[in-house]
DNA sequence: CGTTCGGTTGAGCTTTGTCAAACCGCGTGG
DNA sequence: CCACGCGGTTTGACAAAGCTCAACCGAACG
């Protein structure tokens, strides 16, 4: 994993050469510590920087005129914040932290430089964008066509799988640093209804919660009920250009 | 617009050189005529090909085990189908036509070749992916946090703006080749409720429908009610590499 | 020890879904 | 030219899912 979280993320998809690793690490030379529930970048602000998320959880959200909000994306350590706005001058959403976090801001122009220097990394960024899109797609299905409990089940399963990507030894339980309000804003429902649906899942002995830690007690049953298919989290890397040297 | 629809789409974002145009046109050397309501590529099939949509409308959809379906994306002429699965071996959704259409299939490997030959086009594809993502994001907000009539209003406005991108002289009315069932499957509601919501919009004199043609009678009011902000459809192109020669 | 924040619970209400019938426009075949 | 059937839309009565509001609880924290 080295000092760099983003290398950890990328090296899951392809073995990286030393040069590539150096390039990626150069994106993380500036560290910024930031406390829970604070805004990283507000909507409408210039998109001059991206941020890698070294530790902690973050979200992309959008607040609607009537006071509601929709959480668009939940970011886990190793992900890059802001990529989605690479083609926009001002941010389309607000980025904020859920927990205390360590972020590494780097200028947008660094990406172009990186593209110049490594085709392989260019492709990897392409791949990241495609994966984000697949996750969003799955969220669309979740929002459009699933009941409240199914939504929650699906969301929990997705988080579990995504956490396992960077943390192999993860078991069936993990810290979930989101309030029920936040879960509701992600899944398009009220916190009250999140509470009730969670209660149902607990009653059915499908999940358990203690402290901030959630435990998935019956993976198979959860997948069944949520119609969870992890294909969208499993990428193919064979089309990447260039061989890795290390 | 030349013979190529995709060039039309791209040249909106940046002036292209002759070489670049030639490269893009080479993606469209094979034409395939396909009738309305047929499957272009089923879910799970290998993603060896992309398709440019030369004419007609198409969708990406996913059918759920319980018989419901969610339409993930609606494609208009000039768009590329399948890009979202560039990083996946098998398709995550089914592509089908809404109307009679002309498609140009081209192999995935052509994209890599194209990336080799033009940095600028590489960036343009990046941009396309980012735009698709922004559209998906907006659909997430639509599904998560808007009422039935707001959803429909927003959807119609989005289509209008997107159609105007390739068809400048488009007025406030356009052919909408979607059944209410299809609209419902896009917006996460039943066809019955689509009907009722449309009736409401008509009664409020916000839209009118005759034949397959829909007319937006009061743009401002529709935007107000739907919370429509077209920022997500307006990209910034200044970060693209390389100058255009013509 | 009081306050705040997140979670839970209950009662009543609103929005949307379900089911079924009727309707409408349109193309087909007689 | 008409009758028919078909796909899509509209309408109505009713059911269900989810929302609102409000009270309450418990843990964390100053």
Tell me which of A74 and B7 has the higher pLDDT.
A74
Predicted pLDDT of residue B3: 55
Predicted pLDDT of residue B95: 98
Whether the pLDDT of residue B246 is over 50: the answer is: no
Q: Identify the CA nearest to B12 among candidates B139, B161, B118.
A: B161
Instruction: Report the distance separating Cα B33 and Cα B241, nearest Å.
Output: 35
Half-sphere exposure of A51 (CA within 13 A, CB side): 28
Q: Which two tokens stand for residue A133?
A: 């899109």
Q: Which two tokens stand for residue A72?
A: 């668009």
A144:B188 CB<8 A: yes
Residue B95, domain CATH: 2.60.120.10
Asked if A139 is an interface residue toward chain B (Cβ–Cβ < 8 A), one would say yes
Of B65, B187, B236, nearest to A87 by CB-CB distance is B236
Whether the pLDDT of residue A73 is over 50: the answer is: yes
Instruction: Report the distance separating Cα B86 and Cα B89, nearest Å.
Output: 8
Asked if A131 is an interface residue toward chain B (Cβ–Cβ < 8 A), one would say yes
Predicted pLDDT of residue A41: 98
Q: From residue A221, how far is each of A155, A234, B129 by CA, in Å?
A: 14, 21, 35
Query: Is the minimum distance from the CB of B223 to strand D below 7 Å?
Result: no
Residues B9 and B81 in one domain: yes
Residues B9 and B128 in one domain: yes
B122:A127 CB<8 A: no
Residues B66 and B167 in one domain: no
Q: What number is the average pLDDT over the span B115-136?
A: 93
Final residue before a domain boundary, out of A96, A118, A137: A137
Tell me which of A24 and A201 has the higher pLDDT.
A201
Whether the pLDDT of residue A2 is over 90: the answer is: no
Whether the pLDDT of residue B240 is over 90: the answer is: no
Band of pLDDT at residue A1, cut at 50, 70 and 90: very low
Predicted pLDDT of residue B211: 84
Strand C bases with any atom < 7 A from protein Cβ? 5-10, 15-20, 26
Residues A131 and A166 in one domain: no
Residues A99 and A121 in one domain: yes
Q: From residue B50, how far is each of A31, A126, A181, B85, B103 by CA, in Å?
A: 40, 16, 40, 9, 10
Q: Which residues of B203-222 are buried (b: 16+ CB within 10 A; e: fewer)?
A: eeebbeeeeeebebeeeeeb
H-state helical runs in A5-118: 5-10, 18-26, 108-117
DSSP character at residue A98: S
A88:B235 CB<8 A: yes
**Which residues of chain B between 169 and 198 are close to nucleic strand D, CB under 7 A?**
179-181, 191-192, 195-196, 198
Q: What number is the average pLDDT over the span A123-130?
A: 92
Whether the pLDDT of residue B242 is over 80: the answer is: no
Beta strands in chain B (DSSP E): 32-34, 39-41, 49-55, 58-63, 69-75, 80-81, 94-97, 101-107, 173-175, 207-210, 213-216
Asked if A143 is an interface residue toward chain B (Cβ–Cβ < 8 A), one would say yes
Helix axes B119-145, B148-166, angle to 10 degrees: 160
Whether the pLDDT of residue B81 is over 80: the answer is: yes
Whether the pLDDT of residue A109 is over 60: the answer is: yes
Predicted pLDDT of residue B243: 52
The whole domain housing B129 covers 5-137
Q: What is the mean pLDDT of chain A?
A: 93
A88:B187 CB<8 A: no
Nucleotide minimizing C1' to CA distance for residue B202: D10
Q: What number is the average pLDDT over the span A158-181?
A: 92
Residues A132 and A154 in one domain: no
Q: Which two tokens stand for residue A106?
A: 């780097």
Terminus-to-terminus CA distance in chain A, angstroms? 14
Which tens digit of pLDDT belongs to each residue from A3-12? 567 888 888 8
Predicted pLDDT of residue A15: 85
Q: What number is the average pLDDT over the span A61-90?
A: 95
Which tens digit of pLDDT belongs to each residue from A30-55? 999 999 999 999 999 999 999 999 99
Q: What is the mean pLDDT of chain B?
A: 92
Residues B13 and B119 in one domain: yes
A232:B132 CB<8 A: no
Query: Is the minimum distance from the CB of B135 to strand D below 7 Å?
Result: no
Q: What number is the average pLDDT over the span B112-141?
A: 93
Predicted pLDDT of residue A6: 82
Computed over its alpha carbons, how large is the radius of gyration of chain A?
A: 18
Residue A131 domain-assigned (yes or no): yes
- Contacting residues for B155 by C-beta, under 8 A, at least 6 apart: B142, B183, B186, B187
Among positive and negative, which fits the CA dihedral A230, A232, A238, A244?
negative
A184: chain B residues, CB-CB within 8 Å: none
- Contacting residues for B93 by C-beta, under 8 A, at least 6 apart: A137, B43, B60, B61, B62, B72, B84
- pLDDT above 90 covers a percentage of chain B that reads 79
Tally of structural domains, chain B: 2
Residues B152 and B131 in one domain: no
- pLDDT above 70 covers a percentage of chain B that reads 96
Residue A244 domain-assigned (yes or no): no
Q: Which two tokens stand for residue A120?
A: 């392989």
Whether the pLDDT of residue A243 is over 60: the answer is: no
Asked if B12 is an interface residue toward chain A (Cβ–Cβ < 8 A), one would say no
Final residue before a domain boundary, out of A81, A105, A137: A137
Tell me which of A5 and A84 has the higher pLDDT.
A84
Q: Identify the CA nearest to A245 among candidates A14, A44, A16, A13.
A: A16
Q: Which two tokens stand for residue A201?
A: 């899942």
- pLDDT above 90 covers a percentage of chain A that reads 80
Residue A222 domain-assigned (yes or no): yes
Which tens digit of pLDDT belongs to each residue from B28-41? 999 999 999 999 99
Q: Which two tokens stand for residue A147?
A: 């009941």
Decide: A149 and A225 in contact? Cβ < 8 Å.
yes
Whether the pLDDT of residue B5 is over 90: the answer is: no
Q: What is the spatial distance, in angstroms and rounded to an integer, between the CA atom of A148 and the C1' atom of D16?
A: 13
B64:A141 CB<8 A: yes
Q: What number is the average pLDDT over the span A100-122?
A: 93
Q: What number is the average pLDDT over the span B199-206?
A: 97
Band of pLDDT at residue B86, cut at 50, 70 and 90: very high
DSSP conformation letters of A163-219: HHHH-TT--SEEE----HHHHHHHHTS-HHHHHHHHHHHHHTTSEEEETTEEEES-H
Asked if A89 is an interface residue toward chain B (Cβ–Cβ < 8 A), one would say yes
Q: What is the spatial distance, in angstroms and rounded to an integer, between the CA atom of A141 and the C1' atom of C15?
A: 20
Q: What number is the average pLDDT over the span B128-139?
A: 96
By three-state DSSP, how is residue A162 classified? Answer: helix
Residue B142 domain-assigned (yes or no): no
Residues B27 and B76 in one domain: yes
Predicted pLDDT of residue A168: 82
Final residue before a domain boundary, out of A137, A165, A184: A137
Predicted pLDDT of residue B244: 44
Q: Which two tokens stand for residue A164?
A: 């396992």
Q: What number is the average pLDDT over the span A239-245?
A: 66
Residues B153 and B43 in one domain: no
Residue A223, domain CATH: 1.10.10.10
Which tens digit of pLDDT belongs to each residue from B158-185? 999 999 988 888 889 999 999 999 999 9
Whether the pLDDT of residue A245 is over 70: the answer is: no
- Contacting residues for B95 by C-beta, under 8 A, at least 6 apart: B39, B40, B41, B51, B58, B59, B60, B61, B81, B82
Q: Identify the CA nearest to B182 among candidates B79, B36, B77.
A: B36
Residues B128 and B228 in one domain: no
């Amino acid at each position: 994993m080295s000092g760099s979280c983003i290398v950890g993320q990328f090296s899951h998809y392809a073995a990286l050469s030393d040069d590539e690793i150096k390039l990626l690490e150069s994106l993380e030379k500036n560290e910024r510590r930031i406390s829970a529930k604070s805004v990283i970048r507000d909507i409408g602000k210039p998109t001059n920087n991206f941020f890698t998320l070294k530790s902690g959880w973050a979200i992309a959200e959008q607040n609607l005129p009537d006071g509601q909000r929709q959480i668009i994306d939940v970011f886990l350590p190793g992900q890059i914040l802001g990529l989605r706005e690479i083609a926009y001058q001002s941010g389309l959403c607000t980025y904020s932290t859920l927990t205390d976090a360590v972020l590494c801001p780097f200028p947008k122009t660094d990406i172009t430089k990186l593209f110049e220097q490594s085709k392989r990394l260019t492709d990897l960024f392409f791949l990241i964008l495609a994966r984000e899109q697949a996750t969003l797609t799955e969220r669309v299905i979740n929002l459009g066509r699933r009941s409240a409990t199914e939504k929650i089940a699906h969301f929990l399963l997705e988080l579990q799988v995504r956490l396992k990507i960077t943390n192999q030894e993860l078991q069936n339980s993990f810290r979930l640093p989101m309030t029920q309000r936040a879960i509701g804003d992600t899944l398009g429902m009220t916190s009250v209804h999140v509470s009730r649906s969670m209660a149902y899942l607990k009653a059915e002995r499908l999940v358990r919660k203690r402290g901030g830690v959630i435990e998935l007690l019956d993976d198979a049953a959860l997948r069944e009920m949520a119609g969870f298919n992890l294909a969208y989290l499993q990428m193919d890397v064979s089309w990447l250009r260039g061989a890795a040297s290390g």
